[in-house]
Amino acid sequence: MFSFLPAPLRVLINFLWGAIATLVIGLTVILLGIFKFLIPIPPFQRFVSRLANGVFRGWAYSVSWMFKISYPIEWIIEGDLPDDRNGWYMILCNHQSWVDIPALMHLSRKQLPMPRFFLKQELFWVPVIGVGCWVLDMPFMKRYSREQIEKNPALKGKDIETTREKCEKFRHIPTTVINFCEGTRFTPEKHQKKQSPFQHLLPPKAGGTSFTLQAMGNQFQEILDITLVYPERNEERSIVLDLLAGRLKKIYVYIDRIPVTDDLRGDYFNDPRFRDHFQNWLNGRWSLKDQRIQEVLERESV
């Protein structure tokens, strides 16, 4: 739409569009949250949550436009998503950039129940976004280092307990739980520090994923394993900036729909045999993702 403009102006237009859409939608969600807080009657709160979800879907449509404003991005999608807004799903996705979030919102805006992300606790203090995510019952996770747990053993398992509490809320409203299993965005520095066995990915963390499946496995209809690939990615440049400037021309998406079978539900923390099985399964999924990313990069470099 604005591809004829110089890059700085495209960045400004995209940024203003995203900021205004987030502000308007966020404030509307927060307003609904006030009623939810003041009237603590569960049926009423669930009704307000459904209204907030509808408003949140409006944000998904808004950020979807960011993939068209500067340059019409080509989506190359292999596989398909279920068409059921009233179901429960878990998405497993690799994490390369903040662009992953609007990309997943774009993909799910029509066909899936609105997503919930597991967020770092620090994001609660981001103006508008933090409180809005709290109203939408998104779980804020506080991660503790090994050193903190050694100093205070009572901290062990706190993040899992938070997952348990939030999963209980997810039972009352159709939900797509999005899990970035790597726990953080990919960077070459993190890749080297973690000594990742994968070429383009960080090693996945299996504990939280397994626990969510244990807590809600009977309710999830499918696992949606999604791989996002940005073939024009430049390690020296932000993917977010590429999107805002209109330099992001293609996004590859691979979707695998996986049934939630009994062998994927078990006691990860107290059953060593199941833990080994689940870790091997998740690492196998990550190996496939790594292979697909490499194939795309090789294809696009020709």
pLDDT band at 146 (very low <50, low <70, confident <90, very high): low
**At residue 228, what are phi and psi to the nearest 5 degrees?**
-105, 135
CB 179 within 8 A of CB 209: yes
Question: What is the Cα Rg of the chain in Å?
Answer: 20
| Structure tokens that stand for 293 in this block | 């990313």
The 3-state DSSP class for residue 40 equals coil
Q: Is residue 138 part of a domain?
A: yes
User: Which pLDDT tens digit goes with each residue over 246-272?
Assistant: 889 999 999 999 999 989 988 888 889
Cα of 17 vs its chain's centroid, Å: 21
State the first-to-last Cα distance of the chain, in angstroms, to the nearest integer: 28
- Residue 138 confidence (pLDDT): 79
Q: Is residue 11 part of a domain?
A: no
Query: What is d(CA 163, CA 279) in angstroms, rounded to the nearest whole number?
Result: 19
- Residue 150 confidence (pLDDT): 64
- Residue 275 confidence (pLDDT): 93
Query: What is d(CA 90, CA 122) in angstroms, rounded to the nearest whole number?
Result: 24
CB 255 within 8 A of CB 83: no
> 101: domain CATH number?
3.40.1130
- Over range 265-284, report the average pLDDT: 92
Query: What is d(CA 87, CA 65) in angstroms, rounded to the nearest whole number?
Result: 26
Query: What is d(CA 292, CA 302) in angstroms, rounded to the nearest whole number?
Result: 16
| Structure tokens that stand for 63 in this block | 């950020």
Q: Is residue 55 part of a domain?
A: no
The 3-state DSSP class for residue 95 equals coil
- Residue 132 confidence (pLDDT): 82
Q: Is residue 48 part of a domain?
A: no
Query: What is d(CA 54, CA 50) in angstroms, rounded to the nearest whole number?
Result: 6
Q: Is residue 224 part of a domain?
A: yes
Please list the residues that pair with 90 across neighbouring strands: 177, 223
Range of the domain at 164: 78-239+248-301
Query: What is d(CA 173, CA 279) in angstroms, rounded to the nearest whole number?
Result: 29
Regarding predicted confidence, which is higher, 281 or 120? 281
User: Which pLDDT tens digit goes with each residue over 57-107?
Assistant: 999 999 898 888 877 899 999 999 999 999 999 999 999 998 999 999 999
Question: What is the CB neighbour count within 10 angstroms for residue 239?
Answer: 22
CA distances from 227 to 34, 76, 77, 107, 119 (A): 37, 12, 10, 12, 20
Q: Is residue 207 part of a domain?
A: yes
Query: What is d(CA 152, CA 133) in angstroms, rounded to the nearest whole number?
Result: 29
Q: Is residue 6 part of a domain?
A: no
Q: How many domains does the chain have?
A: 1
Q: Is residue 21 part of a domain?
A: no
pTM of the model: 0.87
